């Protein structure tokens, strides 16, 4: 009798390595799926580890190009930011991985997929909602919601003991028990000592950015980012170097932003499941592009379109964070945001110094900015006398309100 196949979203870390072993103990045939979305990972070592543990096959899928062009770029174009601070690095990666995971399941005729997301987090929702949208008949094994699994493992310490018992090598140790998730967009850190929101993150935690305090002597770096319909088009340097490939552009901005300590945040956010959680994030390239795009967007968009677009951005940021990248509402609002960005075309001059991104100037053929009209040195087509009537009309309700309050 053949065993049921499971495609496991595998990272090679503590959780998924133990889950692989546990699934094998439950008599499933397990194929490990590893998505390369830019994390600093020894994929060959992970392959050998999974093979040694008993996986039937290990699929390593390079999704870096798709991740940047189909997920990061639309997020930058829309200006997506959750609760005014989080640039959605993990949230954007999950639907991208889900596409590859489901494609792998279909190729191998697997009935199940599995993942190592916890029962308290957002990733379980993001993975599973994306999977059900892409393949309604798929079935999901979520060990951290399985009664037997949860009875056996309370948390990471139990996993460490299990890994030691079964000879599973892991990088997490009791001395540094925080959890880390990495991709091209960012690295996130949570759990362990970080669960106390008043505990300062140790400096050796950060892997993507150097400390801006220690790099104060770095000379300012200047470059120009060109956008086409809200998406980054090129990265230009004064020394005649121009990068146009999206992946190369993003990698270069990650390198520069990391060197200058840009994009670090330490926040408490509201998870979709109703819990508050503390996370530490590094998002160098994403932050630089967000600052540049937002500056150009205000410059290019009509005032009222900008305000409507901002409201839609808030909705879309919630959709992405909550796992609804693939959804009727996500599709609709995403198309609206894409249409709103049609005229966000131009360039932004940027200077980075340790810890900061500074906008030096911007230009676009699509902006309604009129230098002559706004000038304080000439009237042009603006009649100052018209302002009197404008002010009088705006003042009517204020005067009437004050009169009523005085009666």
Instruction: Supply the residues annotated as catalytic.
Output: 15, 94, 123, 179
b/e burial code for range 389-402 (CB count within 10 A of at least 16 → b): eeeeeeeeeeeeee
Cβ contacts of 345 within 8 Å, gap of 6 or more: 227, 228, 229, 230, 300, 364, 365, 366
Backbone angles phi, psi at 86, to 5 degrees: -95, 125
b/e burial code for range 53-73 (CB count within 10 A of at least 16 → b): bebbbbbebebbebbbeebbb
Would you call 148 helix, strand, or coil by DSSP? helix
Q: 316 and 240 in contact (C-beta within 8 Å)?
A: no
Q: What are the DSSP calls for 124-141, one per residue?
A: HHHHHHHHHHH-TT-EEE
Closest among 290, 67, 60, 285 to 186, alpha carbons compared: 285
Strands 57-62 vs 231-237: parallel, antiparallel or unpaired? unpaired
Count CB atoms within 10 A of the CB of residue 330. Answer: 20
Which residue's entry shows tokens 């060990």?
A: 143
Q: 12 and 36 in contact (C-beta within 8 Å)?
A: no
Q: What are the DSSP calls for 76-135, one per residue?
A: HHHT--BTTTB--HHHHHHHHHHHHHHHHHHHTT-SEEE----TTSSHHHHHHHHHHHH-
Count CB atoms within 10 A of the CB of residue 111. Answer: 14
Closest among 164, 161, 149 to 117, alpha carbons compared: 149
Question: Which residues face 350 on adjacent strands?
Answer: 223, 359
What long-range pairs does 367-371 form, CB within 8 A, spacing at least 24? 367/299, 367/300, 368/302, 369/299
Cβ contacts of 151 within 8 Å, gap of 6 or more: none
Using only the alpha carbons of the chain, give its radius of gyration: 25
């Amino acid at each position: 009798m053949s065993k049921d196949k499971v495609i496991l979203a595998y990272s090679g870390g503590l959780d998924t390595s133990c889950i692989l072993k546990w699934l094998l103990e439950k008599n499933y045939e397990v194929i490990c799926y590893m998505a390369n979305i830019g994390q600093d990972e020894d994929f060959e070592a992970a392959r050998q580890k999974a093979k040694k543990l008993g996986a039937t096959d290990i699929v390593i899928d390079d999704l870096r190009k798709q991740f940047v062009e189909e997920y990061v770029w639309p997020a930058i174009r829309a200006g997506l930011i959750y609760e005014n601070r989080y640039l959605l690095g993990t949230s954007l990666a999950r639907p991208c991985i889900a596409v590859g995971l489901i494609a792998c399941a279909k190729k191998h005729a697997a009935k199940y997929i599995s993942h190592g997301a916890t029962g308290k987090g957002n990733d379980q929702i993001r993975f599973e909602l994306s999977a059900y949208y892409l393949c309604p008949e798929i079935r999901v094994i979520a060990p951290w919601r399985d009664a037997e699994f949860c009875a056996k493992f309370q948390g990471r310490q139990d996993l460490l003991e299990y890994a030691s018992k079964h000879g599973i090598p892991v990088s997490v140790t009791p001395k540094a028990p925080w959890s880390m998730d990495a991709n091209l967009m960012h690295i996130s850190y949570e759990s362990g000592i970080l669960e106390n929101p008043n505990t300062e993150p140790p400096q050796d935690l950060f892997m993507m950015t150097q400390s801006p305090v220690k790099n104060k002597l770095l000379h300012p770096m200047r470059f120009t980012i060109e956008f086409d319909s809200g998406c980054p088009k090129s990265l230009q340097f004064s020394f005649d170097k121009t990068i146009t490939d999206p992946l190369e552009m993003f990698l270069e901005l990650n390198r520069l932003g990391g060197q200058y300590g840009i994009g670090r945040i330490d926040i408490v956010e509201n998870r979709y499941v109703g819990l508050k959680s503390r996370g530490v994030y590094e998002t160098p390239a994403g932050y630089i592009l967000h600052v540049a795009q937002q500056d150009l967007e205000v410059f290019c968009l009509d005032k009222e379109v900008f305000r409507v677009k901002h409201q839609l951005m808030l909705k879309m940021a919630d959709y992405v964070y909550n796992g609804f990248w693939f959804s009727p509402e996500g599709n609709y609002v995403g198309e609206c945001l894409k249409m709103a960005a049609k005229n966000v075309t131009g360039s932004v001059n940027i200077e980075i110094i340790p810890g900061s991104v500074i906008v030096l100037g911007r230009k676009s053929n699509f902006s309604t900015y009129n230098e002559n009209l706004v000038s304080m040195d000439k009237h042009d087509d603006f009649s100052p006398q018209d302002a009197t009537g404008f002010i009088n009309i705006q003042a009517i309700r204020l005067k009437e309100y004050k009169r009523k309050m005085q009666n």
